[in-house]
Amino acid sequence: MTARLQARVIVTPRRGILDPHGRAVLQSLHALGFTEVAEVRVGKYLEIGLRELGRDAAAERVRAMCEQLLANGVIEDFRIDIDEEPR
Amino acid sequence: MRWGVVIFPGSNDDRDTLRAIEQVVGDEALPLWHKDRTVHGVDCVVLPGGFSYGDYLRCGAIARFSPVMEAVSAHARAGGLVLGICNGFQILCEAGLLPGALVRNRGLRFLCDIVTVRVETSETPFTYGCKAGELLQLPIKHGEGCWVADDATVAALEAEHRIVLRYTDRLGRATAAANPNGSLANVAGLCNAERNVVGLMPHPEHAVERLTGSEDGLRLFRSARAWLGRAAAGARREPALVPGP
């Protein structure tokens, strides 16, 4: 029996795209004295539970999910990690 | 002329749009349900403003997969008119019917205001009754109206005169200060290469009577009838252009 898998997807604004959230956080960090902060980009984190899939198939399916729906390639990049679902 | 106004879960300007078209413009307008797989043969489909599917994930990202959107795409491919207003513009970008994307306003705030926009081209169904350079007063109300795209896309849109409306000051200057949301090139509206699909952040349907501040929105709705009339006349005239024996 295959273990249940969990995909963790991180979607971030593409570099060069205006990210007003990130800029506001950057300015707040600077105001608090964290002057070493050079850049902040605010994105999204998704946890996706998967059933009945091998790891390779899961990676392929989650990539398709990102391309079709979870990320907008015009403005966003995404990263995928796949692991056994924590109990 | 027959218009259809799509109602998605979370649309909220559909009633104003239907009312503007039927009661003020005087055209026929019918509501189209998001689960419909047809646009019922209308001449123009309007994707109205609102918060379709709660704006979850990204504005318009979920609405673009509604059953009706396949019919809207087919209608657009066949040369039918499509107007996306605000959330409708966001949906058209997500669906790939218009280039770029609409992201959070530069100032992070939701904006509710009447702005000046300059008509950049009269060669679209919704600006056909306007002159290029003309200024219109239209309301905006959005949190994600900052249009972005890569440099090549912006250059192509400029070269093909596909930027339809630009935010300007009251003198018609497209300055940074007159740009409410940070849109590249002060874009307030644009069209596809075939020019039959237009997306706008401002709301013409809220600007159809002096009582509420402006009736400039009427110009956009009335243009569409003239555009269709021209297309029909063009089709009839065409044979005459063929040299006789």
Query: How is chain A split into domains, by residue range?
Result: 5-84
Q: Are B132 and B121 in contact (CB under 8 A)?
A: yes
User: Cβ contact (<8 Å) for A17 and B103?
Assistant: yes
Mean pLDDT computed over every residue of chain A: 92
Please state the length of chain A.
87
pLDDT (tens digit per residue) in A23-58: 999 999 999 999 999 999 999 999 999 987 899 999
Cα nearest neighbour of A76 on chain B: B101
pLDDT grade for B196, boundaries at 50, 70 and 90:
very high
Q: Are B63 and B52 in contact (CB under 8 A)?
A: yes
Q: Indicate the helix (H) or strand (E) that contains B68.
A: helix B67-77
pLDDT value, residue B10: 97
Q: In whole angstroms, what is the distance from residue B179 CA to residue B54 CA?
A: 26
Mean pLDDT, to the nearest integer, of B131-138? 98
pLDDT (tens digit per residue) in B142-159: 999 999 999 999 999 999
Q: In whole angstroms, what is the distance from residue B135 CA to residue B167 CA?
A: 10
User: Cβ contact (<8 Å) for A74 and B101?
Assistant: yes
Cα nearest neighbour of B181 on chain A: A20
Q: Are B198 and B125 in contact (CB under 8 A)?
A: yes
Mean pLDDT, to the nearest integer, of B42-70? 97
Name the residue with tokens 């997306």: B199
Listed residue (A52, A74, A41) closest to B154, CA to CA: A74
What does pTM read for this prediction? 0.92
pLDDT (tens digit per residue) in B104-134: 999 999 999 999 999 999 999 999 999 999 9
pLDDT value, residue B234: 73
Mean pLDDT, to the nearest integer, of A64-71? 97
pLDDT value, residue B235: 62
Q: How far is CA B215 from CA A72, B210, B227, in A?
A: 36, 6, 20
Interface test with A, best of B104, B108, B110 (most A CBs within 10 A): B104
Cβ count within 10 A of residue A48? 16
**Of A71-75, B228-232, B236-240, where does mean pLDDT reach its minimum?**
B236-240
User: Cβ contact (<8 Å) for A74 and B104?
Assistant: no
Q: Are B46 and B6 in contact (CB under 8 A)?
A: yes
Q: Which positions in chain B have a beta carbon within 8 angstroms of at least one beta carbon in chain A? A: 57-58, 61-62, 65, 93-94, 99-101, 103-108, 146, 148-150, 182
Written out in words, the top-level CATH class of the domain with range B2-241 is alpha beta
pLDDT value, residue A87: 63
Provide DSSP, A2-42.
PPPEEEEEEEEEPTTS--HHHHHHHHHHHHTT-TT------
Report whether pLDDT(B231) > 90: no
Mind telling me how many Å the CA of B108 is from chain A's nearest CA? Answer: 6
CATH level 2 (architecture), domain A5-84: 2-Layer Sandwich (3.30)
User: Cβ contact (<8 Å) for A70 and B149?
Assistant: no
pLDDT value, residue A53: 83
pLDDT value, residue B76: 98
Mind telling me how many Å the CA of B196 is from chain A's nearest CA? Answer: 22
Q: Are B136 and B117 in contact (CB under 8 A)?
A: yes
Listed residue (B117, B106, B75) closest to B216, CA to CA: B117
pLDDT value, residue A1: 52
pLDDT value, residue B96: 97
Q: Taking CB atoms and an 8 Å cutoff, what residues of chain A touch B101?
A: 72, 74-75
Q: Are B108 and B76 in contact (CB under 8 A)?
A: no
Mind telling me how many Å the CA of A56 is from chain B's nearest CA? Answer: 26
- Could you give the 3-state DSSP secondary structure of residue A80? strand
Which residues of B are identified as catalytic?
A: 86, 203, 205
Q: In whole angstroms, what is the distance from residue A52 CA to residue A58 CA?
A: 9
Q: Tell me, yes or no, if A72 comes closer than 8 A to chain B by beta carbon.
A: yes
Mean pLDDT, to the nearest integer, of A53-64? 94
Q: Are strands B197-200 and A76-84 parallel, antiparallel or unpaired?
A: unpaired
Q: Taking CB atoms and an 8 Å cutoff, what residues of chain A touch B65?
A: 69
pLDDT grade for A17, boundaries at 50, 70 and 90:
confident
User: Cβ contact (<8 Å) for B148 and A70?
Assistant: no
| Encoded tokens for A17 | 């795209």
Q: Taking CB atoms and an 8 Å cutoff, what residues of chain B touch A24?
A: 108
User: Cβ contact (<8 Å) for B104 and A21?
Assistant: yes
Report whether pLDDT(B9) > 80: yes
Please state the length of chain B.
245
Q: In whole angstroms, what is the distance from residue B29 CA to residue B77 CA?
A: 21
List the domain boundaries for chain B.
2-241
